[in-house]
Amino acid sequence: MKQENTSVRRKFGTAPVFFTSVSTILGAVLFLRFGFAVGTVGFWGTIGIVLLGHLITIPTALAISEIATNTRVEGGGEYFIISRSFGQKIGSTIGIALYISQAVSAAFYTIAFAEAFSPLFDLWSAHMGFDLPRQIVSVPALLVLAWVILRHGAGSGVKMLYVVVIMLFTALALFFAGEAIAPDETLPQVAGNNFGFFNREQFFILFAICFPAFTGMTAGVGLSGDLKNPGKSIPLGTMGGTIVGLVIYLLVVWKLSVSASPSDLVGDQLIMSRIATGGAIIIPLGLAAATLSSAIGSVIVAPRTLQALAFDRTFPSRRLNVFLSKGKGVNKEPVNATVISFAIALLFVLLGDVNSVASIISMFFLITYGSLCLISFLNHFGAPPSYRPRFRSKWYLSLGGFVLSLWVMFMIDGLYTLLAYGMLIVIYIFLEHHNKHQKGLGNIFKESLFQLNRRLQVFMQKRQSSMDDEEWRPAAICISPNSLERDKALYLMKWLSRQHGFGTYFHFIEGYFSKQTHVAAKEILRELIERTKGYGSAFYIDTMISPSYTSAIAQVIQAPSISGMENNMVIFEYEKGRSDELARILENINLARAGDYDVCLFATSTHPVCSREGIHVWIRVTDEKNTNLMLLLGYIIIAHPDWRRSQIKIFIIHTSGDSEMIKADLSERIAEGRLPITLANIEIISLTDRQTISAVVAERSASAGLTVIGFREEILRHDAVGFFSSFDTIGDTLFVNAASVKVI
């Protein structure tokens, strides 16, 4: 369901995006945890945290800016961008995780807001003898904020942002104007100095706590539905907020390092109040302003993400979607979604503390940021013609942002990372069940897979000449007009192409190419693809419209293989007892032989495949050229799960010579090729003058699941129909003629 409403009045420009981003970036963590970080991991360690965080957030900001200038951005911010790029199933899955992180962020900043009143809490504890819970400040603050947003809408929140941003920058200015404090002699000194000390064990723990400080750069994207020109405001506001935030964080780390000892930094979470000019008043006010502005940014953005999810009918209940998507006024303020978001925030305010909530937020934001970077990279790599952003990032920045996001998650906590992705999988499966009509995983990498396949095809063609002497594997093509009447040829292609080879199956439609035959071919193709969905094999299905069987074969054997390697085998299929089908194949078999293809005739019986009876391979001592190919085909077919309870049995026919020597020679060949054939399954048969090969085969292989028999070129020049028809009494038979001797 599209989120377009021409009656919505878009009123915001670039400034709200910038201020929402920068005020969320310069939030609670800056005032409450950066002093502790500098005291614990030192100047360079904290610089490392800042730079590593921005190595993730800057590529994400660039990716958002890029994607936002490629599509018309509606309400929902990051969710809208993801869903319109990855499809709604993936977008909804990540969007739900994003919404949770945004709603929990509101709780995080409200909890941190209460820390601004630490001097009052300390004063109360000193005079009254007991501690007050921080919730007596955080809960009323959240409720007041909810009342303001619900009553006056996002506009009131944006107006408040201008006030708190002024207070925030005033506090920072006075902090930088402050002087260094004398070390507190009563606290133990941490080994090393602020510039050189680096605690590797604590680095990623502190990174998880500090990372929410950098996540505010996407907060302004959530205003996308209220912006006059999202394609302009999102890139400018987002990148501006990110760069300003990075500069300020680097300066704050430097100021803390030169202004206090490690022991002071570790021991006092409001150490900035002791450094700043007038810090006892201005830093708590700045903290209150920073946390309040960040909370405002979160409570403005989170409901809009939830509303956008409901607009897209993400949830299984129509009534729930209508309830959550309901808006008030001309700007469709998300009233119900705001109530739900505040309820979630209130729950975490009552239950959580700053550090634990920060770690939860970090995980969800890292998932979201990694996804955004991956979208940008896939669009660069896939290069779809529709991807024409006015602002362009670099593919390697996007790829780096994705890889770093994933790596950092595992470095923070591997178990939580697996749980976070496990939760996403559960959400996706749930949405897959209830939204079957929407795009899913199959659509994500379509363009990238196209590009990868294209490049591999060109690469394989360029080195094809050097591959001629490499080991053989089947790249078979099969053409049949009987695909809808019988499916054993499809089964043979499935067996050959599951693991070791590749196949292309053509359904032949006799006639001239026209609109009518084209439509019919597409319908048959859809039916064949539907039939073979459960095959789990690598063969490709297509149709071929041609005025004759001969012209169809000529076209097929000249068609390039989509596997990247040249086709090397042609398979003809016919039903035993149908002399007309056999005759038509024999009339055209020389077309395939002229192209130096291995040729197979698959003669199918009316009996079902009985794989447990195994594969019988019949070898004649005088037929050296076909022997290795028959053995390889038997090995490849029996490797398929359909034949898992089967064995290959080899029969060697000879009229003279030492049978033991023949058996030893074949055994050595099998051992060198490491084929799963035991000596007990090799039988030597001496053919007398009165016996025919067909009679011996009929006696021994009457119940075989598949019989493999070689044939030489001389057969085709004499009584070919008689030869192939003489084996009609047994089950399915694969006749093999090799173009050259294969190496096992």
The residue length of the chain stands at 744
Count CB neighbours of 140 within 10 A: 12
Residue 462 belongs to some domain of the structure = no
Angle at 242 between CA 237 and CA 247, to 5 degrees: 130
Checking if the pLDDT of 7 tops 50, the result is no
Determine the average pLDDT of the residues in 159-185. 78
Higher pLDDT, 500 or 578: 578
Residue 572 belongs to what H/E stretch?
strand 569-575
Residue 581 belongs to some domain of the structure = no
Q: Which single residue is written with the structure tokens 């790249």?
A: 475
Rounded to whole angstroms, the maximal C-alpha distance in the chain is 119
| 218 pLDDT tier (thresholds 50, 70, 90) | low
Checking if the pLDDT of 397 tops 80, the result is yes
Higher pLDDT, 344 or 389: 344
Residue 583 belongs to some domain of the structure = no
* Cβ-based neighbours of 476, under 8 Å, separated by 6 or more: 493, 496, 497, 501, 502, 503, 504, 567, 568, 569, 570, 571, 600
CATH number at residue 543: 3.40.50
CA distance 235 to 62: 8
Residue that finishes a domain, picked among 520, 551, 570: 570
Residue 594 belongs to some domain of the structure = no
Q: Which single residue is written with the structure tokens 């053989």?
A: 472
| 381 pLDDT tier (thresholds 50, 70, 90) | confident
At 643 the pLDDT is: 87
Checking if the pLDDT of 330 tops 70, the result is no
At 385 the pLDDT is: 62
734 and 697 in a common domain: yes
Checking if the pLDDT of 281 tops 60, the result is yes
Contact 92, 371 (CB under 8 A): no
CA distance 139 to 503: 66
Residue 237 belongs to some domain of the structure = yes
CATH number at residue 66: 1.20.1740.10
Q: Tens digits of per-residue pLDDT, 23-60? A: 777 777 788 788 888 888 888 888 989 999 889 888 88
516 and 438 in a common domain: no
140 and 77 in a common domain: yes
At 604 the pLDDT is: 93
CATH number at residue 616: 3.40.50.620
Amino acid letter at 730?
I
Q: Which single residue is written with the structure tokens 């993730």?
A: 56
502 and 436 in a common domain: no
Residue 1 belongs to some domain of the structure = no
Range of the domain at 677: 605-744
φ, ψ (nearest 5 deg) of residue 663: -65, -40
343 and 278 in a common domain: yes
Q: Tens digits of per-residue pLDDT, 551-605? A: 999 998 888 777 667 888 999 999 998 989 999 999 999 888 888 899 999 999 9
At 458 the pLDDT is: 66
φ, ψ (nearest 5 deg) of residue 727: -105, 20
80 and 214 in a common domain: yes
Task: Give the total number of structural domains in the chain.
Answer: 3
For residue 482, give Cα distances in angstroms to 267, 336, 599. 82, 60, 19
At 659 the pLDDT is: 64
393 and 327 in a common domain: yes
Mean pLDDT for all residues in the chain: 79
The tokens describing 484, both together, are 């809808």
185 and 290 in a common domain: yes
364 and 481 in a common domain: no
Angle at 485 between CA 481 and CA 486, to 5 degrees: 95
| 157 pLDDT tier (thresholds 50, 70, 90) | low
Return left, alpha or beta for 332; rule: phi > 0 is left, psi -120 to 50 is alpha, else beta: left
- Average the pLDDT over each of 265-279, 575-589, 653-667 and give the range with the smallest value: 653-667
Determine the average pLDDT of the residues in 646-662. 77
Residue 321 belongs to some domain of the structure = yes
CA distance 27 to 213: 6
Residue 689 belongs to some domain of the structure = yes
Nearest to 633 by CA among 503, 453, 526: 503
Checking if the pLDDT of 185 tops 80, the result is no
Contact 101, 345 (CB under 8 A): no
CA distance 744 to 729: 31
397 and 497 in a common domain: no
At 1 the pLDDT is: 42
CA distance 526 to 251: 63
Checking if the pLDDT of 505 tops 90, the result is yes
φ, ψ (nearest 5 deg) of residue 478: -130, 135
| 383 pLDDT tier (thresholds 50, 70, 90) | low
Nearest to 373 by CA among 93, 65, 51, 14: 65
Checking if the pLDDT of 8 tops 50, the result is no
At 136 the pLDDT is: 84
74 and 30 in a common domain: yes
Checking if the pLDDT of 130 tops 80, the result is no
> Between the CA atoms of 685, 687, 688 and 694, what dihedral angle is there, to the nearest 10 degrees?
120
| 420 pLDDT tier (thresholds 50, 70, 90) | confident
The tokens describing 372, both together, are 């955004």
At 439 the pLDDT is: 57
380 and 480 in a common domain: no
Nearest to 502 by CA among 474, 478, 529: 474
Contact 425, 97 (CB under 8 A): no
The tokens describing 128, both together, are 């009254």
141-162 burial, b at 16+ Cβ within 10 Å, e below that, comes to: bbeebbeebbeebbbebbebbe
At 635 the pLDDT is: 86
Residue that finishes a domain, picked among 555, 570, 585: 570
